[in-house]
A and B are shown apart, each in its own frame.
Chain A
Amino acid sequence: MLGFFIQRVFQAVIVVVVMSILVFLGVYAIGNPIDVMIDPAATQQIRDTLIRQYGFDRPLWEQYFVFVGNVLQGDFGQSFVYRVPVLDLIFSRLPATFELALGAMLIASVIGIPLGIWAGYRPRAFSSKAIMALSILGFSLPTFWVGLLLVMTFAVQLHWLPSGGRGPTSDILGIPLSFVTPAGWSYIILPAFNLALFNLGLLIRLARAGTLEAMSSDYVRFARAQGLKESKVVGLHVLKNIAIPIVTVFGLEFGSTLAFAVVTETIFNWPGVGKLIIDSIMVLDRPVMVAYLILVVLLFVIINLVVDLLYGVLDPRIRARRAA
């Protein structure tokens, strides 16, 4: 197990290094930030001073190593625009995105897993076919379109919910969160639902496929032959078997939900990291972009690692194989 763990961590480090190079090259390629930063009327002299000050006159590889050196000391540089350390900037926006993504995953699981299990348990029922149609919609409708529709319906037409923004937050352990107050709820529910749609579709399909397979297995027939109630057959035998793919997807999708909350945050004007990164791209705020992308890579790598380790906890066969 320890050997497995070390091996996985080593792989993770390699992935992060490679990705950091790619990110650095990619962002470097999109243009010169100096033009954005200073008054177009500034003299060439001021330009040169600034270029030297930020180190843009150095060879690319040197810039990269300076950057990596700083990062290893926890310094991702300063935002060109906000003039504050990038990490502080991102972390100040992170709770909003985190809460939104978590809310979305929660909605997706609480609705999607039971629906998927039902659809797999009664595959011929009309209700199951309706559920599958819903999951296809969740997959294929563009997020921004559904988002706009939600705003039009619930905010503009019905006036039930606010159309955007985060509304009031309350601090828990120093972190500002929305779900604490009813007013906060009213702000988060629409964007969270919007962000949940894709995962909702995914979890329905996953739970259905797993349930279908388990229901025709010998161990389910055997469990029924012992007189187990259907609720127990599903709640114990089926659920434990579909838990593995669901946890995997939950983990991996949580990462992408965090990273790609961009669209939803933009539509609902949600003050999260996604909105920050869109704004930063508009003005070529290079340190923010680089730091954001590298943090996303880190996030994915860590989530992958955790999911891999969780696999072993959930599936005793995998645990045995790794121990061997």
Chain B
Amino acid sequence: MSDVVLSVQELQTHFFTRNGVLKAVDGVSFSVRKGRILGLVGESGSGKSVTGYSILRLVDAPGKIVGGRIVLNGTDLAALDGEAMRRMRGAVVSMIFQDPMMTLNPVLRIGTQMVAAIKAHDRVSTALARERARDALALVGIPAPAERLDAYPHHLSGGMRQRVAIAIALLHQPAVIIADEPTTALDVSIQSQILAEVRRLADQMGTAFVWVTHDLAVVSSLADDVAVMYAGRIVESGATEAVLAHPRHPYTAGLMASVPSQAERGARLAQIGGSTPSLGALPEGCAFRPRCPRATEICRMMPPLAPIGDTMVRCHHPIGEARP
């Protein structure tokens, strides 16, 4: 589609550890359209955060992007030099993190941090930068934004801090924001307020989001599209309603069966039978095979990501098709 802003193609990010190469992200592809929200779900360790860091080229050693393209508004980020990539960060693509206690520098005033973020890309006076910072805080629904500029992070509640982080990410109106479980640490009512705010911002400003989460309830209420990750690969992706109404991949179906009840929302997904495989010792072929009730001999070969109806599925025996 023509309004795709971010297209990740066959992304590979590997960690070169003493005990061998960990393929944390191994051929991930997805795309996000303007103003749309893509939910990226999967168990702990499936490579969601590493995917996010890779898009911003912020993977720490010993990790390294070893393959693939990250096309953002027509530019392949993976091919940019360091300074060109820096210019993209914050301006065209930004990121927010899970723990609102840790993402803001505890010893710098909110205003100082925001002014630094503005001046990273625009040559403006501090006075003007502060005005823009104040407006950005107001935009994400922070009361008395002018006073907040002089506050330190510990003066604010967790929800307020995460709003500040979102405001900072929005300062330069980037095309895409990667959100790495930003509401997981917050309580449910604050979380739903922030989700509503994000939905409004995406619609009004046309910002696209990649929303990383464990929580399928968040996906169903927030995301237009969903991509399910398992052991460094996308196993199923498509429109949220389609995927959640008719999961095709046995792993997606397992995730849905283990959705926590309303009372436990935000809790980690209950484990599907068996445990997440260690990246160092993946089975050959389909990584989900040891846990999969539908597995057969052919699953010893890696299934391709193939279209079934409107969704893409990486499985030899997708649900809804007869098992041979």
Report if B60 contacts A (CB, 8 A).
Answer: yes
Report if B56 contacts A (CB, 8 A).
Answer: yes
Report if B108 contacts A (CB, 8 A).
Answer: yes
| CB nearest neighbor in A for B53 | A221
Report if B224 contacts A (CB, 8 A).
Answer: no
CA distance A159 to B270 in the complex (A): 77
Report if A308 contacts B (CB, 8 A).
Answer: no
Report if A148 contacts B (CB, 8 A).
Answer: no
State which of B56, B112, B154 has its C-beta within 8 Å of the C-beta of A225: B56
Question: Which B83-114 residues have a C-beta within 8 angstroms of A?
Answer: 86-91, 94-97, 99, 102-108, 112-113
Report if A157 contacts B (CB, 8 A).
Answer: no
Q: Give the size of the chain B interface in residues (CB under 8 angstroms).
A: 37
Question: Which A114-143 residues have a C-beta within 8 angstroms of B?
Answer: 124
Which among B116-124, B215-223, B258-266 touches the partner chain?
B116-124
Known A227-B90, A228-B120, A229-B86; contact A218-B97, beta-carbon cutoff 8 A: yes
B120 in contact with A225 (CB, 8 Å): no
A232 in contact with B120 (CB, 8 Å): yes
Report if A180 contacts B (CB, 8 A).
Answer: no
CA distance A241 to B106 in the complex (A): 8
CA distance A258 to B252 in the complex (A): 69
Report if A83 contacts B (CB, 8 A).
Answer: no
Report if A149 contacts B (CB, 8 A).
Answer: no
Q: In whole Å, how far is B90's beta carbon from the nearest beta carbon of chain A? A: 3
CA distance A216 to B58 in the complex (A): 11
CA distance A226 to B89 in the complex (A): 5
Interface residues of A toward B: which range? 20 to 34
Report if A237 contacts B (CB, 8 A).
Answer: yes
Q: Would you call the interface of chain A mostly helix, strand, loop, or mixed?
A: helix
Known A216-B60, A224-B89, A225-B58; contact A316-B102, beta-carbon cutoff 8 A: no
Question: Which A204-234 residues have a C-beta within 8 angstroms of B?
Answer: 216-219, 221-229, 232
Question: Which A148-203 residues have a C-beta within 8 angstroms of B?
Answer: none
B137: A residues at CB distance < 8 A: none
B90: A residues at CB distance < 8 A: 225-228
B107 in contact with A226 (CB, 8 Å): no
| CB nearest neighbor in B for A219 | B105
Report if B168 contacts A (CB, 8 A).
Answer: yes
B168 in contact with A226 (CB, 8 Å): yes
Question: Which A285-324 residues have a C-beta within 8 angstroms of B?
Answer: 314-317, 320
A–B Cβ pairs within 8 angstroms, 8 of them = A218-B99, A222-B104, A227-B87, A237-B105, A240-B107, A243-B107, A316-B152, A317-B154
B interface residues with partner A (beta carbon < 8 Å):
53, 56, 58, 60-61, 86-91, 94-97, 99, 102-108, 112-113, 116-117, 120-121, 152, 154-155, 165, 168-169, 171-172
Beyond A226-B117, A241-B105, A316-B152: 13 further Cβ-contacts under 8 Å? A216-B60, A222-B95, A222-B97, A222-B168, A225-B169, A227-B88, A227-B90, A232-B116, A237-B105, A237-B108, A240-B105, A244-B107, A314-B107
Q: Which 5 A-B pairs have the closest CB atoms?
A: A227-B90, A226-B90, A218-B102, A227-B89, A225-B95
